[in-house]
Amino acid sequence: MVNVDSPTANRGYPPAARAWGVTLLLTIIYVFSFVDRQVLNLLVGPIQQDLSFTDTQISLLQGFGFVATYVLLSVPIGRLVDTRRRVNIIAAGVAFWSVATAACGMVRSFPGLFMARAGVGIGEAALTPAAWSLIADLFPSSRRSFPLSVFLMGPYLGVGVAMIAGGLVMDELLVKGDVVVPLLGAMAPWQLTFLTVAAPGLLLTVLMLLIREPLRQGVDAGPMAAAATGAEISFWLRSNARVYVALLLGVPCIVLVLYALQAWVPSYLQRVQGMSLGEAGTRYGSVALVAGSLGVLSGPFFGRLLEQRGFHDYPIRIGAITLGTTVPALLALAVAPTPTLALAAIGFVSFLVTVPLALAASALQIATPNRMRGVLAGAYVVATNLIGMAIGPSLVALTTDYLFGDPAAIGQSLALVGTLAALVGVTLLVRGLKPYADLVATLADDH
């Protein structure tokens, strides 16, 4: 079959208005993907009260249940992105994760919720590779960084929206109590919240299907080098081991702190600081939205400052500095006497851990030869999600359940797990500073 989307030459990019329209739609979809992914974190208390789940069971729903399918399907779906219509792939992904989110609200058992969360992971695995590919064909390389930055705001906006909107919805539904839904019967407020946040996915699916598939740019623009072999990739990794240990193990420690916070701060604010569910959602959502957005936007600014001062290892150096600086705030979280001080510590950590993430992704591209960037970018996605999202929330839960044995010790658990992850991460990042600078200099000399 002939791929009608593959031009024989670069035939130009779409008008700026259409390109930005598609980018903004993709960003909105990215926001709602994180709403559907993160709203569970706000509903921990009601779910535990209703179904008697432990913190460990909840952490498996937050992390492993989602990440397992997300990671396993990222590469196969990425291959489809290279050969099929990307707008259809995204539309199918949005529809699938929206249905799976709604399914989270229609089951009342741990296996049922686990399977539904796995479905959310399946759907969301389609978005990022397809969206990145689309944006690359909407804008020439000289104008691509800003739209990509706009798109990358999605996760931080999504966490804020999930907490704020979820908190407001739950406040309204808790007043009414269980509601009888036609065909579904009586449903608890937490179940209706899942159904509510899933609903926009139907509209977003339709809007995505209305998008015209852009031409693939530069497919036959020149001779393309063959992909690197497994032996070549293995040799490159061994030759630059400390660089890739920093990027593939050190950076995920930053992500671990971020996801541990996102998973358990709502419960911490309710259990320890005495907030209502709605108050915890709106206040933490506001902090996460502002601090996370400022962090991701500040990273390039701090990077330029260090680069101008001769620190060519700045992507990794900033990661080490910000991760190490989180430790005092994490320890303060364990002993914060008031909600205001607790939120200040949470905001400080939320800002710091988002500053280096875009720089780290860029560092991976800079340090990696073109012929193996796809494979190592996939390894980066797997590492950050497995260590950050699958392991992070579960470590906090296991610490609460089995080390402290007290649900009210969630603050101490966050502080302990976060501090240990920070110390490990800083060590790995610092060890990669000089090798990264040397590697970048070598690659620059080769070109």
298-349 pLDDT tens trace? 888 898 899 899 998 999 999 999 999 999 999 999 999 999 999 999 999 9
For residue 143, give the H/E element and its range.
none
Tell me if the pTM is above 0.85: no
Model confidence at 6, pLDDT cuts 50, 70, 90, reads: very low
The CATH homologous superfamily for domain 227-447 is MFS general substrate transporter like domains (1.20.1250.20)
CA atoms within 13 A on the CB side of 246: 31
Q: Mind listing the pLDDT tens digit for each residue in 243-286?
A: 999 999 999 999 999 999 988 999 999 999 999 888 998 999 89
Spatial distance between the Cα atoms of 282 and 274, rounded to a whole number of angstroms: 14
Name the CATH code of domain 12-216 (choices 1.20.1290.10, 1.10.3430.10, 1.10.3720.10, 1.20.1250.20).
1.20.1250.20
Q: Please indicate whether the domains covering 12-216 and 227-447 agree at the CATH topology level.
A: yes
List residues bridging with 180 in a β-sheet: 186
* For residues 9-38, average pLDDT: 85
Neighbour-count burial of 182, counting CB atoms closer than 10 A to its CB (0-12 exposed, 13-18 middle, 19+ buried): exposed
428, pLDDT greater than 90: yes
Neighbour-count burial of 239, counting CB atoms closer than 10 A to its CB (0-12 exposed, 13-18 middle, 19+ buried): exposed
Neighbour-count burial of 159, counting CB atoms closer than 10 A to its CB (0-12 exposed, 13-18 middle, 19+ buried): buried
Name the DSSP class of 222.
Answer: S
411, pLDDT greater than 50: yes
Higher pLDDT, 142 or 318: 318
Give pLDDT, residue 144.
Answer: 67
Which residue matches tokens 């590492």? 383
Give pLDDT, residue 349.
Answer: 96
Higher pLDDT, 347 or 169: 347
160, pLDDT greater than 70: yes
Q: Phi and psi for 402 in degrees, rounded to 5?
A: -115, -25
Q: Please give the structure tokens belonging to residue 184.
A: 């579904």
* For residues 227-233, average pLDDT: 74
Q: Please give the structure tokens belonging to residue 296.
A: 């991701």
Model confidence at 12, pLDDT cuts 50, 70, 90, reads: confident
Tell me which residue of 88, 66, 87, 35 sits closest to 201, measured CA to CA.
35
Instruction: Note whether 387 and 258 are within 8 A (CB).
Output: no
Q: Mind listing the pLDDT tens digit for each residue in 384-399?
A: 888 988 899 999 999 9
Mean pLDDT of the chain: 86
288-317 burial by CB neighbour count: b if 16+ within 10 A, else e? bbebbbbbbbbbeebbeebeeeebbbbbbb
Angle at 107 between CA 106 and CA 112, to 5 degrees: 135
* For residues 139-143, average pLDDT: 73
Instruction: Note whether 382 and 342 are within 8 A (CB).
Output: no
Higher pLDDT, 15 or 2: 15
Give pLDDT, residue 1.
Answer: 35
Model confidence at 114, pLDDT cuts 50, 70, 90, reads: very high
% residues pLDDT > 70 (the chain) = 92
List residues bridging with 69 in a β-sheet: none
Instruction: Note whether 98 and 202 are within 8 A (CB).
Output: yes
The H-assigned helical ranges of 105-222 are 110-124, 127-138, 145-152, 154-176, 189-198, 200-209
Model confidence at 228, pLDDT cuts 50, 70, 90, reads: low
Spatial distance between the Cα atoms of 380 and 386, rounded to a whole number of angstroms: 10
Spatial distance between the Cα atoms of 158 and 32, rounded to a whole number of angstroms: 6
Sequence ranges of the domains in the chain: 12-216, 227-447
Model confidence at 200, pLDDT cuts 50, 70, 90, reads: very high
208, pLDDT greater than 90: yes
Spatial distance between the Cα atoms of 116 and 177, rounded to a whole number of angstroms: 24
Angle between helices 86-104 and 16-42 (to 10 degrees): 20
Give pLDDT, residue 7.
Answer: 40
Model confidence at 64, pLDDT cuts 50, 70, 90, reads: confident
